[in-house]
Amino acid sequence: MTTVIEVLEPDDADNVTDISSVARRDAVRRAADARVRMSGQERREQLLDVGRKLFADKGFEAVSVEEIANKANVSKPVVYEHFGGKEGLYAVLVDREMNYLLRSFEDALHGSNPRLLLEQAGMALFDYIDAYPDGFRILVRDSPISQTSGTFASLIIDVAAQVEHLLANEFAAHKMDKKLARMYSQMLVGMVVLTGQWWLDVRKPKKDDVVAHMVNLAWNGLAHMEAKPDLLMRKR
């Protein structure tokens, strides 16, 4: 008996009756087409999206270049080509998130009403957490040893410096020692950031209510807290 083995050409694909073979073939074609269609910039953004999710879920040390490549459906050399390795990809992600969050704080710290400034700063952080939870998770995780700059701690120092300047003006107006502004700025920023880290996972109450209660504590103090605080920005 003679066995005839038929070799299928791409144009003969419609003649295949094995469903699993057809599915595998289509999957391979779709993957190949995606690689062809994606420009260098699009590929870079795709790798950043994949890396952001992996680093947020697992942390820097637990993620490998191979895992990033597999999730992006590319080979490892493609990751090295764009970023030089996972360290480079991580550095780009941190830099992006840091700049975005710092700009949010800078935009919020404008105005003459000190209580409203406190509300705006709190909402800037909580809006960021709400919109970019993976980015915030990356920022608050421990940075790798190779990451010598652009850490979340350095961001907090920058924000605290801006808050210190605002507090110094308020302290002077109330005849308080301006030197205490630095200490109080650390207290306020620390409270906002730690509350944000807690809310990242629980998401209750709503962010507006969390900020209202946070401002209630910071502005009124324990002795004069309001039972049902509200935000000035919501009354406008």
Rounded average pLDDT per 10-residue block, the chain, 236 residues? 46 51 63 65 96 95 96 96 95 91 86 87 94 92 59 80 86 89 91 93 95 94 92 82
End-of-domain residue from the set 32, 61, 84: 84
Residue 115 contacts by C-beta under 8 Å, 6 or more apart in sequence? 215, 219, 232
Q: Tell me which residue range forms the domain holding 29.
A: 18-84
pLDDT of residue 16: 45
Residue 89 lies in a domain: no
- Residue 31 is predicted with a pLDDT of 58
Distance CA 199, CA 205 (A): 8
Same domain, 229 and 137: yes
Task: Give the chain's domain count.
Answer: 2
Residue found under tokens 């700009």: 103
Residues 137 and 45 in one domain: no
What is the maximum span of the chain, computed from C-alpha positions, in angstroms?
A: 106
Burial of 26 (0-12, 13-18, 19+ CB in 10 A): exposed
> Would residue 78 count as lying in a domain?
yes
105 and 30 in a single domain? The answer is no
Which residue, chain included where needed, has tokens 């302290």?
Answer: 171
* Whether residue 24 is found in the same domain as residue 114: no
**3 lies in a domain?**
no
Q: Are residues 151 and 197 in the same domain?
A: yes
**One domain for residues 124 and 150:** yes
Tell me the CATH number at 151: 1.10.357
